[in-house]
Amino acid sequence: MSPVERREPLPDTTYHYQPIFRGLIDSDDADVKARLDADWMRCNTVDSAQGLGKLFTQNGRTVAMYPDMASKEWIPQNTWDVGTFIIQIPQYIAMRLAENFENSIRIAPRSEQKDMCRHAMLSRRLDRAMLVQYKSV
C-alpha cells in the first residue's frame, strides 16, 4: 500500500487513516461494485454495510494495518520534547494552510485565480515573517 501522506514534514510522525466509503455503497456503477466486492476490500473492512475500512498507520514511507488488539505501535520510536514540539507545530500548520490554499487556486474560477495567487504570495511572506519572529521569542 502506498503512503497516503506523501511528504513527512514533521520527523517521527505517525499518521492514522480509516477509509470511509459509505457514499459508494449505493452506487449503480458496475466498476464501483466490483471494487467494493474485491478480496482486498473484504480483508480490510471493519463494517462493509456502513462503509468503514480498518484503521491504517503510516510511519515515514511505511503503511500497515493497525492491529485488531490493543497496541502501542502508533507511538513513534523517537519522541519530541515539549520545546521542540512548540516550535515545530506552528510552522507545520502555517505550511499546510498555505499549501491547501495554493492547491485550491487551480480549481477556482479563472476570474479569481490572479487575486488568489497574489494573496498566496503575500500570505507566504507574512507567514515567514511571523515564524521568524516566533522563533526569536
pLDDT tens sequence across 36-75: 889 988 899 999 889 999 999 887 778 888 888 888 877 8
* The residue to which cell 474485491 is assigned: 38
> Domain limits at 119?
82-136
pTM for this predicted structure? 0.56
Q: Tell me, yes or no, whether 95 lies in a domain.
A: yes
Amino acid at site 92: Y
What's the number of domains the chain is made of? 1
pLDDT surpassing 90 at residue 126: no
Domain assignment of residue 99, yes or no: yes
117: closest CA among 106, 127, 128, 126? 106
Q: 21 lies in a domain?
A: no
**Mean of the per-residue pLDDT values of the chain:** 84
Q: What does the block give as the cell for 46? A: 471493519
Residue 48 covered by a domain? no
Q: How far apart are CA 74 and CA 78, in angstroms?
A: 12
Structural domain contains residue 41: no
Q: How far is CA 109 from CA 11, 98, 104, 116, 119, in A?
A: 36, 19, 10, 10, 15
Is residue 115 in some structural domain?
yes
Residue 13 has pLDDT above 60, yes or no: yes
